[in-house]
């Protein structure tokens, strides 16, 4: 009946399903455990009629014309350039830290001196990691590096990852940039925007091909079994001769046989306000205050005209399989080694392709994951189409 079964209706699953159906006329079944398509990019209207992102704010940005053109077949775009403010010493200043942040936080004599030294040492319109700032034997720039590290990075990261400051790897923490620019945008990518009618509508169009069937509310293990030794897939107790594309957690696929891959999870707290807008920009980071990391106001992102406004606060928490969702892989040598064990096993199962953030234990932005799916498709079938 089906040439392909795809587990997961997120970006990877939906892109591959669309390509296989429209370019190769293959019959595809998507099995999705949630009650909706779109994966973590899913959006919907809340009880007040505000378009919200159920799994945290998703802003689309890419440098890839191929990815932008591909998705543009299924959506128009609202022009949107994301800006983030961080609450630092009582002031809401642009993040990543830039020359505007500098002038908002420091007395003008000091700010001017720092600006002159930054441009003198590194030039204009460049992102300089604080590790590089620290290497300069200038006490002003070393002071700035320490200030940005402490006020912008340290407490935010401790909250986000639930670690102690001394556990932070200095080579990673040193990558925090100071942006020597007046550009307040969070991303500098050529293509930036929000799907005009939301992500879910875009996914609906991607999956509208008659060759694609979607089964929601179903864990694939309810219908399928994979015998890794015999390289045999069964679907509804019958041998399945086609290919399985798996975009769920790789450790779950193998029944956690080597152990669970650790992740960080999030709790989202949505709040509705009578006001038209409650903050100046899409996202405000609370770097040093409160126990949530950031608050996002959806109407900034979507441009929706509706009475009242809805925001979401993000609280970082440990991931517990079965109780909450896996969001950010915790990358360290031990965990990567564990992932590689699963990957080696996955690579040995010829009829199964593992792709996406959960199957590859990797944080991907949306554009990266679409590029991954398009690349995979070209690699497998580029010579056929």
| Spatial CB neighbours of 130, under 8 Å, sequence gap ≥ 6 | 145, 148, 149, 153, 173, 174, 176, 177, 178
Q: Cβ of residue 121: shortest distance to ligand FAD, in angstroms? A: 32
Q: Cβ of residue 6: shortest distance to ligand FAD, in angstroms? A: 9
Of 204 and 365, the one with the shorter C-beta distance to ligand FAD is 365
Q: Is 147 helix (H, G, I), strand (E, B) or coil?
A: helix
Q: Cβ of residue 131: shortest distance to ligand FAD, in angstroms? A: 26
Of 133 and 214, the one with the shorter C-beta distance to ligand FAD is 214
Angle 156-159-265 (CA atoms, 0-180°, nearest 5)? 120
Peptide bond preceding 196: is omega within 30 degrees of 0, i.e. cis? no
Of 149 and 319, the one with the shorter C-beta distance to ligand FAD is 319
Q: Cβ of residue 231: shortest distance to ligand FAD, in angstroms? A: 20
Neighbours of 184 (CB within 10 A): 20
Q: Cβ of residue 363: shortest distance to ligand FAD, in angstroms? A: 7
Bridge-based pairing state of the strands 309-318 and 294-297 = antiparallel
Of 209 and 221, the one with the shorter C-beta distance to ligand FAD is 221
Long-range contacts of residues 235-241, Cβ cutoff 8 Å, at least 24 apart: 235/2, 235/5, 240/2, 240/5
Q: Cβ of residue 13: shortest distance to ligand FAD, in angstroms? A: 6
Q: Cβ of residue 297: shortest distance to ligand FAD, in angstroms? A: 14
Of 147 and 263, the one with the shorter C-beta distance to ligand FAD is 263
Residues that bind ligand FAD (CB under 6 A): 7-13, 31-34, 39-41, 56-59, 219-220, 247-248, 266, 327, 356-358, 364-367, 369
Of 17 and 93, the one with the shorter C-beta distance to ligand FAD is 17
Neighbours of 109 (CB within 10 A): 8
Bridge-based pairing state of the strands 283-285 and 84-88 = parallel
Helical H runs in the chain?
A: 11-24, 65-72, 99-105, 108-122, 130-135, 139-148, 155-161, 170-173, 199-206, 250-253, 298-302, 333-347, 366-381
Q: Is 252 helix (H, G, I), strand (E, B) or coil?
A: helix
Distance (Å, whole) CA 355 – CA 352: 10
Of 152 and 250, the one with the shorter C-beta distance to ligand FAD is 250
Q: Cβ of residue 165: shortest distance to ligand FAD, in angstroms? A: 23
Of 145 and 359, the one with the shorter C-beta distance to ligand FAD is 359
């Amino acid at each position: 009946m089906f040439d392909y079964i795809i587990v997961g209706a997120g970006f990877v699953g939906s892109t591959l399903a669309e390509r296989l159906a429209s370019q190769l006329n293959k019959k595809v079944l998507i099995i999705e455990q949630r009650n909706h398509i779109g994966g973590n990019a899913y959006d919907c209207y809340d009880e007040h009629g505000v378009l919200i992102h159920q799994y945290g704010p998703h802003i689309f940005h890419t440098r890839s014309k191929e990815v932008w053109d591909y998705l543009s077949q299924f959506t128009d775009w609202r022009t949107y350039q994301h800006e983030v403010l961080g609450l630092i010493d009582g002031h809401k200043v642009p993040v990543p830290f830039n020359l505007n942040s500098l002038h908002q936080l420091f007395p003008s004599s000091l700010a001017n001196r720092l600006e002159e030294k930054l441009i003198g040492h590194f030039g204009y319109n460049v992102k300089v990691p604080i590790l590089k700032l620290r290497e300069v034997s200038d006490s002003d720039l070393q002071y700035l590096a320490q200030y940005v590290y402490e006020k912008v990075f340290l407490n935010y990261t401790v909250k986000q990852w639930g670690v102690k400051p001394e556990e932070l790897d200095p080579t990673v923490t040193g990558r925090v940039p100071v942006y020597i620019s007046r550009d307040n945008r969070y991303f500098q990518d050529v293509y930036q925007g929000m799907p005009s009618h939301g992500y879910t509508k875009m996914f609906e169009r991607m999956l509208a091909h008659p060759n694609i069937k979607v089964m929601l509310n179903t864990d694939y293990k309810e219908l399928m079994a994979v015998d890794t030794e015999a390289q045999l897939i069964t679907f509804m107790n019958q041998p399945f001769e086609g290919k399985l594309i798996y975009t769920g957690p790789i450790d779950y696929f193998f029944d956690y046989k080597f152990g669970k891959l650790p992740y960080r999870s999030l709790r989202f707290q949505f709040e509705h306000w009578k006001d038209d807008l409650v903050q100046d920009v899409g996202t405000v980071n609370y770097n040093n205050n409160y126990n949530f990391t950031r608050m996002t106001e959806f109407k900034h992102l979507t441009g929706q005209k509706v009475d009242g406004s809805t925001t979401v606060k993000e609280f970082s928490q440990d991931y517990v399989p079965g109780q909450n969702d896996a969001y950010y892989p915790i990358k360290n040598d031990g965990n990567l080694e564990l992932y590689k064990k699963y990957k080696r096993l996955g690579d040995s199962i010829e009829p199964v392709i593992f792709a996406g953030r959960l199957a590859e234990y990797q944080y991907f932005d949306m554009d990266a994951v679409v590029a991954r799916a398009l690349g995979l498709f070209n690699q497998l079938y580029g010579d056929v189409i």
